[in-house]
Chain A
Amino acid sequence: MNPTPVLTIFVASIFTNNILLASFLGLCSFIVVSNRIETAIGLGVAVTFVMVFTTAINYGVYYYILVPFHLDFLSYIVFIAVIAAFVQFLEMFIERFSPTLYYALGIFLPLITVNCAILGAVLFMVIRKYNFIQTVGFGFGSGLGWALAILLMAGLRKKMGYSNIPEALKGPGIILIVTGVIAMTFIGFTGILNLQ
């Protein structure tokens, strides 16, 4: 078992070990959807939601089904299936209760299925041997961290609309550079605490 307190895991996964800025996971939807603050918030919320529940469900599946049968080599395919099913469920759920968000997220909602940050978080949970409480804290923190990163980016991109960007760097080019800069500033947080 991992001895780190859950609060530490939670805070660390938002700031020092931000899944996007430290591990660079989930970049594709980050680049595409960060053009507007409203959609960025929407996707951030959706990712947080999916992250908490998929890590929790996959924790159960992994430790109560796969491990007892010594089938942990199946973990990748099972994790992906669980994530896919959950995103399907979420899609129906959002369509039912917030059509505006549903239309705003458009094709990006199904894209969460293949968002590597989600699978990444699940795999980290296994590698770092978190218990259930830690897993939920980690999933929640990572989701919030991802949402924070995309929100920062959306805000910056709004400002960047007015700036004179070299022709060759327009679009994803400048976004990757800016992401790198944000990531470096986040390294400043590592002095506070660090996760292994």
Chain B
Amino acid sequence: MSIVSIGELVERARDFEGRLERYYAELRDKTPNNGVRLLTYYLSRHRRHLEEVMKGFENEVLERIFNVRLKYDVNFNPEEKFHIIKKPIDEIKGNELLEAACAYDEELVDLYKSILDQPIGEEARAFVEGLKRLEEKDIVMMKKMIAMDYF
């Protein structure tokens, strides 16, 4: 599905992350794997990224940013990237979960990059840049966690 304004993008991302959070909660209840359970606590923080970036802007500015319309539509298909959501819960392993979370973050980064290529004004640019930087940091962190092979 394509997105036409930044507000809509934020809305969609928030929706999906709400879904993810419910998924993580379910996983936490049902998984036999303790590593996965430990991870769900950490991963369900993802929703806070948006809020963290939004905190840096005043409401009035945020409203303006959300109204910025994109010149070209961008695609945002998180479900495809987070495919293990469809897998039976007791088969999920820690690293799989991390890889899926990583893929979702990478999708977000690509999305933000394609938005930054468009003329969206300085305020919106600062906002999207902030989001992008946060996700990139998150990716590095999770890649390291995958490499540690602890979960």
Contact = CB atoms under 8 A, between A and B. Distances in A.
A and B touch in the complex (CB under 8 A): yes
Interface of A: 36, 161, 171
What is the interface of chain A mostly: helix, strand, loop, or mixed?
A: loop
A136 B120 CA distance: 41
A182 B27 CA distance: 64
B128 to A, nearest CB: 17
Contacts, number: 4
Interface in B76-129: 119, 121-122
Using C-beta atoms within 8 Å of the partner chain, give the interface range for chain B. Answer: under 10
Interface of B: 64, 119, 121-122
Contacts of B119: 171
B124 to A, nearest CB: 11
A77 to B, nearest CB: 37
Nearest to B123: A161
Contacts of A36: 122
A53 B119 CA distance: 36
Contacts of A161: 64, 121
4 contacts: A36-B122, A161-B64, A161-B121, A171-B119
A37 to B, nearest CB: 13
B69 to A, nearest CB: 9
A67 to B, nearest CB: 48
A36 B121 CA distance: 10
Contacts of B122: 36
A161 B119 CA distance: 13
A161 B64 CA distance: 9
Contacts of A171: 119
Contacts of B64: 161
Contacts of B121: 161
B112 to A, nearest CB: 22
A161 B63 CA distance: 13
A161 B67 CA distance: 10
